[in-house]
Amino acid sequence: MAFTTTMLSWSVIEFGGLMKGELQHAKEAIRWATDYLLKATVHPDTIYVQVGEANQDHACWERPEDMDTPRSVFKIDRNTPGSDVAAETAAALAAASVVFRRSDPTYSKLLVRRAIRVFQFADRYRGAYSNGLRKYVCPFYCSYSGYQDELLWGAAWLHKATRNPTFLSYIQVNGQTLGADDSDNTFGWDNKHVGARILLSKAFLLQRVQSLHDYKGHADNFICSLIPGTPFSQAQYTPGGLLFKMSDSNMQYVTSTSFLLVTYAKYLTSAHKVVNCGGTIITPKRLRVIAKKQVDYLLGDNPLKMSYMVGYGPRYPQRIHHRGSSLPSIAKHPAKIQCSAGFNIMHSQSPNPNILVGAVVGGPDQHDRFPDQRSDFEQSEPSTYTNAPLVGALTYLAHSFGQL
């Protein structure tokens, strides 16, 4: 949820000026999340990070209105640290503070003050939240990449939000040990290294912060990893051209990468710079072309002619892995549907009665196949962290094609 908020905020920071009537909707969505994150961080050195027992909730297929599984609350604190979730929460609060800086300065100041406090807690009491809370948060949202990436990412956002030299010196002192130049080129809710590199390169490219010079190189390395045919190319693509990182919710990497491509292209254009991949010059225009191809695939320009955004285009997923979408509404079926009674519908072939318009699902496999089965959560489950970065990418593309 925190990563969703950070990415929705970054979308507004970079492209909000192009959003027209949708800007207000984006800001309302961000505030809905930050209001919650503020409540979850009221007590110093404590964050309430999860409500509900994941295993018991997953054992039911029921509507949110019918839920009666335990609402247990789990927290991190000095004794059970969670630098990963804490630093991501700090990033979300800091990024959102930039969004509201002009339109609601009082709220913005509250967000940034809380972000600083939460980041200090993340940094002082180090540890992964899925160590202390393992049986509650794993295997669903285990922190596989550790917490170093979140500390770098959180510091990068606080540097942007506060312009306080403390955070710049933190990044200078700790950047290397926190993995600034690791070659992990996957950006998503668990690993933020690439996002931090792109964000910090902006401070070098646009604000001329010379001490962040290396982050342009780190960001370029990520870009070069994506470009087929260059010496540093690592990325895999499906035969139809979709970036393919992993079989579980692959589309989250497509949307996050597309966002980073159009965002980095913006920075490069402003600074009159390009990317050099072992002698091959990659222009900002090329980055935008790659991003557009990924988003076009997502929206239906693919071998199956299937839009992976629900409710968009003539053909889209009918049986998404989403309880509220798949079960009849309270209006149609007022009587309670018990915990396990919904599994009959879950395993059925009938299309979902409630269309979750705009939701982006996990997407096709590495051979461009998509079974459209509700039980196939790897391919058919939507998530907020898949949609959030797409907001920025779509804003840029819609604007550049004269649709906004």
Among 372, 376, 378, 399, the active-site one is 372
Beta bridge partners of 50: 74
Strand ranges, E, within 258-343? 275-277, 280-282
Among 14, 321, 322, 368, the active-site one is 321
Active site residue 372: yes
Q: Give whole-number Cα distances, 275 to 278, 279, 284, 293, 392, in Å.
A: 9, 9, 8, 19, 22
Among 152, 154, 159, smallest CA distance to 175 is for 152
Beta bridge partners of 75: 48
Distance, CA of 206 to chain centre: 24
For helices 2-15 and 22-40, the axis angle rounded to 10 degrees is 140
Between vectors from CA 7 to CA 93 and to CA 379, what angle results, nearest 5°?
130
Instruction: Compute the distance between CA of residue 180 and CA of residue 32 in angstroms, rounded to an integer.
Output: 32
Determine the 3-state secondary structure of 240 from DSSP. Answer: coil
Token pair belonging to 194: 């690439």
Beta bridge partners of 51: 73
Active site residue 321: yes
Active site residue 333: no
Residue type, 286: R
Distance, CA of 210 to chain centre: 28
Please count the other Cβ atoms lying within 10 Å of the Cβ belonging to residue 305: 10
Could you list the active site residues?
Answer: 321, 372, 381
